[in-house]
Amino acid sequence: ILFADAEHVALAGSPPGATTFADEMAYGTSLVSDFSDTNLTHIDRAKNAGVKIIQYHGTHDPLIMFRKDPAYYREVATYFGGGVADYAGLQTWFRFYLEPGNGHVASPYLPDMIAWVENGVAPDRLTRTTNGLRLACPYPQYAQYTGPAGGSTTDPANFTCGGNLESNVTALC
């Protein structure tokens, strides 16, 4: 029997075989973590081989929660920054984008990757044209609305990349 949490298990009298959603998630994660977790931050071989990486994640993905990705990217930036998160250095070959409002969808970014690998043009922003127009900025920047009052919030032209999502991370720890 699956329960929302331990409190609900107790309220039901702790029936035999009772489990919580968190227990089931932990079990499921343990089954697939070897090939799905982003926990390897020492990716020197990729960097040294000249690999380019575009990682992106929709903030409304109902299948895979996005919050682990910024933490992973921060850890990689810290590893390659010698103990200090160096996003500028990392972004020469590895860029991460949070896509506001997007869910679990396919990538339309192959042309951006080709331009980066073949022509040396790194994407300063990604614009999704499926599921509504969206602008994604290289982390830790984010899309800031600069359009007119009452303007479209789905028109990438009304946004610029700026700010720093990491500015409060230390204060929150």
Q: Tens digits of per-residue pLDDT, 109-151?
A: 889 999 999 999 999 999 876 666 678 999 999 989 999 999 9
Q: pLDDT at residue 170 above 90? A: no
Q: Are 137 and 161 in contact (CB under 8 A)?
A: yes
**DSSP per-residue codes, 30-95:** HHHHHHH-------HHHHHTT--EEEEEETT-SSS-TTHHHHHHHHHHHHHTTSS--HHHHTTTEE
DSSP 8-state class, residue 135: E
Burial 73-96 (b: 16+ CB within 10 A, else e): bbbbbbbbeeeebebeebeebbbb
Could you state, in order of their start, the residue ranges of all structural domains in the chain? 2-35, 43-172
